[in-house]
Structure 1
Amino acid sequence: MESKMSYQEFQERLCQEVQRELNQQGTYHCEVMQNQKNNAILWGLSVRKEDSSMAAVIYLDKPYQSYLRGKPLEEISRELISAYQDQKIPQIDETFFTDYETVKDRIQVRLVSREKNQAYYRRGPYKMHPMGAEVLFIELQSDREGTMQAQVTNKMAEQWKIPKSVLFQKALENTQSRNKAVFSAMGDVIAELIMGEGAEAPETEGVSPLYVLSNEKREYGATVLLYPDVLKAVRKRLGEDFYILPSSLHESIILPKGLVMMDVKELRDVVREINQNEVRPEEVLGNEVYEYRGATNRVRKCSKEDRER
């Protein structure tokens, strides 16, 4: 029985095969590289046509699993080439990133996991937040097929000569103007998922104990926690302080304190169970429980000693 290649051997062989096939159509440059994705560093195949300034990155974990299950390397290579050719890669001159006036309205901010994104911190400007880390990106393309972004690097920031505080303020303004915050009862969110947009949950007695805070696109919706006065507005609507459960990068669960019949330890166990069983690893924001207090207008992590009901 033929022995299987290791992951590293597979990457190198696939890179050679893809480049050999593509170079029959022109001149292409292929290389295996590591790329920081949310909460993980993934191996990918970077493919760039010689006259293009932009490269596409195709991640190799799933292709390798297909190979281990018996799919021939040549077939995997053809599938990757087809996927690459189907992508619409914007052609952007490299000088685009050097002019702050050109890119300033495209800069946005994301809230990501604090512990699992060290490569982001080494590569570009960042700020720490009680619930994670703020990282800057430039939006290159956004349409029905998805969004393409590039991280703001330290080199870019040095070329722009713009203070870090100004960059983050501009990014927050851009992000908030393009993707408004949405605060909904959990029942309405579930009804929308089941019955379609605009659907409302059947009326029930009492007040909903669970709410969801996200954005209009429900992509990186936890970032709305950074928007000025959003949490203050949530407290005004609820009429009391509340807990924040980081259910994913895309949304947060809000629980009014007066309606919570669990202590902080039990809430923390709920968050960790959801992250382990319901959320993809790359979409986990954190495993802790946080609270918002109107008196201080601040978010703080609940300590192990907290036993509020």
Structure 2
Amino acid sequence: MDFNQFVDEVKGGIKLFLPRDYEDAQVRVEEVRKLNENYLGITILNENQIVAPTFNLNQLYEMYQSDPEISMESIMRNITGVVLDAPEQFELGSITEYEKAKDKLFIRVSSVEKNEEMLQNVPHQIRENLAITYHLSISIDDVGMGSTTITNDILKHYGISEEQLHADAMKNSPAIRPVHVTVMGSMIEQLMGMEPETVLRGEPVQSIAEIISKGMEREDPMFIITNQQTLDGASAIFYPEVMDQIGEGFQGNFFILPSSIHETIVVPDNGEFDYRVLQDMVQTINASEVSPEERLSDHVYHYDVKDRVFERADKFEERQKEKEAQLGKNEHMGKEQNMKQPKTKKHEMEL
């Protein structure tokens, strides 16, 4: 069965698995544009229903093709279960009324270049070549349909500014998807069935500095920054105070490696790491290990603790050179001023 036949079968047969009161439901199949990916989605909207989950048909087809135990019937029954549960799992007002919706806001981060078309239709903020976008968490997260993207139209409906949206999303993100910090060695130990020594799970942001500081006792420490769900967790690096807390733990500047859209890796800028080497590593791993839809960036970033500046590592290097050049220029001018002797004043003499 090819993909088009699969789509036709799901679309034509899904109502046979739904209750009789879904006889007049709309079954929509249309392209869905999301961060880092586009896919063909199917949505079942019953009468008087405004919001419903959308199922990724490309993903379902891939599962159907790769696992012999997954049958068309099991796919249909899974879709049916979610469709019937969805209306009970969230109140429409919790999405359409901003005062109720704002507590469900969280951020995601993605590549500007890969999402240029989508970003034209959604409010966002740019950090270098990364875009922060805003999303609403809904209570059906457990089945993978747990969020909706805030579009320009939704923002207009809410009647608020982009600045207010950003402030509320930044405030609520740590509560909805708490920061999770792990020492790289601990991740390996977890895979080996050992308990990690220094892991932060849903603890206050203030604990990050202590976790980093303790992890620095290891040789060549690297830390994974993500969220508790380890899903779209690269955004956690932009949560309020997170970079400052990491810098406090490192007691100085640090590099940020975009491992994927799900996590970043941070290492101290202590003279032991050259950003070019780190960047080569990121690009190699992106090309060989990370799927295109999960790639965040080929660049390495840097956080300047003193100036509180997040920027690409190459830009940080250029900025430092400019500072040094300006400092040298100022020192040179100061020396020239000191070398100049004051002119003797001429006085008129009266006889």
Which interval holds the TM-score relative to the shorter structure? 0.7 to 0.9
Helix, strand or coil at the partner of 1:188: helix
How far apart, in 2, do the equivalents of 1:35 and 1:129 lie? 25
| Deviation string, structure 1 residues 249-296 (Cα, Å, up to 9, x no partner) | 2211112122534x3333222112222332233322111111111232
How far apart, in 1, do the equivalents of 2:316 and 2:225 lie? 26
Moved more, 107-116 or 243-252: 107-116
Tell whether 2:235 aligns with 1:223. yes
Question: Could you tell me which residue of structure 2 aligns to residue 35 of structure 1?
Answer: 32
Question: Could you tell me which residue of structure 1 aligns to residue 116 of structure 2?
Answer: 118
- From 201, 209, 214, the equivalent of 2:226 is 214
Helix, strand or coil at the partner of 2:245: helix
Question: Could you tell me which residue of structure 2 aligns to residue 53 of structure 1?
Answer: 50
Equivalent residues, number: 298
Q: Which runs of 5+ in 1 are unaligned?
A: none
| Deviation string, structure 1 residues 14-55 (Cα, Å, up to 9, x no partner) | 422334665867323212111123311011222233354332
How far apart, in 2, do the equivalents of 1:290 and 1:282 lie? 20
Query: Equivalent pairs: percent with the same residue?
Result: 24
How far apart, in 2, do the equivalents of 1:159 and 1:11 lie? 33
Question: Could you tell me which residue of structure 1 aligns to residue 272 of structure 2?
Answer: 260
How far apart, in 2, do the equivalents of 1:67 and 1:181 lie? 34
Helix, strand or coil at the partner of 1:240: coil
Helix, strand or coil at the partner of 1:17: helix
Tell whether 2:105 aligns with 1:107. yes
Q: CA RMSD in A?
A: 3.4
In structure 2, relative to structure 1, the CA distance for the partners of 1:11 and 1:179 (3 Å cut) is closer
Question: Could you tell me which residue of structure 1 aligns to residue 126 of structure 2?
Answer: 128
Question: Could you tell me which residue of structure 2 aligns to residue 86 of structure 1?
Answer: 81
Which structure has the highest helix share of the two? 2
> Considering only CA atoms, is the larger Rg found in Structure 1 or Structure 2?
2
Helix, strand or coil at the partner of 2:113: coil
- From 38, 41, 44, the equivalent of 1:44 is 41
What's the TM-score, normalizing by structure 2? Answer: 0.72
Q: Which runs of 5+ in 2 are unaligned?
A: 200-214, 321-351
Divergent runs of 4+, >4 A: 7-10, 19-25, 62-69, 91-96, 142-147, 196-201, 203-206, 304-308
How far apart, in 2, do the equivalents of 1:60 and 1:144 lie? 18
How far apart, in 1, do the equivalents of 2:290 and 2:314 lie? 24
In structure 2, relative to structure 1, the CA distance for the partners of 1:32 and 1:234 (3 Å cut) is same
Question: Could you tell me which residue of structure 2 aligns to residue 15 of structure 1?
Answer: 11
AA in 2 matched with 1:48: L
Moved more, 146-155 or 297-306: 297-306
Shift of 1:12: 3.9
Question: Could you tell me which residue of structure 2 aligns to residue 303 of structure 1?
Answer: 314
In structure 2, relative to structure 1, the CA distance for the partners of 1:56 and 1:196 (3 Å cut) is farther
What's the TM-score, normalizing by structure 1? Answer: 0.81
Moved more, 60-69 or 244-253: 60-69
In structure 2, relative to structure 1, the CA distance for the partners of 1:270 and 1:56 (3 Å cut) is same
